[in-house]
Chains A and B, each alone.
Chain A
């Protein structure tokens, strides 16, 4: 079955880089997503990558996609205490780009120590 897997916890020091990893199962996925959930809030879309890209950079965020290994990573440069949150990797059901029916991983809790 379709499954998205992530490590559950990551702790870094302020100023360091954080790398959150994810593996997914559907090689036909057109988009892959990173959602962020801050304490007491709903999830919000942080960034996404289209499947024909290997890398996407957006300010402090870098998304790397390895389609061969079905591996997605999110790198946060110069991690700040405000980056402490749960990060969810997600792919669409059946690989379709035209849906909000997503498969989420369990979420990686990022703890940033001052």
Chain B
């Protein structure tokens, strides 16, 4: 069974540019989460999808961040325009409905904004 995959693994962009991160969850997992780790600090929740619906986006920093989950399958997280403080590692995780707290994480997408 394929795990959670994320793309790209590393992105380096200039301040003001746009970046789109993609996550493919484990097939059959209704729950999809985005988390972010900035500067070696805590891994912080960004948002939660249940299938294609946004269940909770209380962790999204501001309106420069837009997440979508097309057809309840893969998800994208777009940052537009990127700022220096957006640099960090963006993790995607999925889980099934039986044990939502068992998160299966991707390897993360490292974003560097110069």
Contacts and interface: CB of A to CB of B under 8 A. Distances in A.
Interface of A: 4, 31, 33, 35, 40-45, 48, 88, 92-93, 97-107
Contacts of B4: 42
A30 B56 CA distance: 20
Given A42-B105, A99-B100, A106 B56 contact: no
Given A106-B40, A106-B41, A45 B48 contact: no
B39 to A, nearest CB: 10
B59 to A, nearest CB: 8
B53 to A, nearest CB: 15
Contacts of A45: 102-103
A87 to B, nearest CB: 12
Q: Which of A33, A48, A104 has the most CB of B within 10 A?
A: A104
Given A101-B45, A105-B42, A42 B107 contact: yes
A41 B107 contact: yes
Given A33-B101, A97-B101, A99-B100, A104 B42 contact: yes
A33 B40 CA distance: 20
6 contacts: A43-B93, A44-B104, A45-B103, A99-B101, A101-B33, A106-B41
Contacts of B107: 40-42
Select the residue from A42, A97, A105, A106 with max chain B CB neighbours within 10 A: A42
Contact of A93 (B41, B43, B45, B104): B45
In the complex, which of the residues B31, B43, B108 has the most CB atoms of chain A within 10 Å of its own CB atom? B43
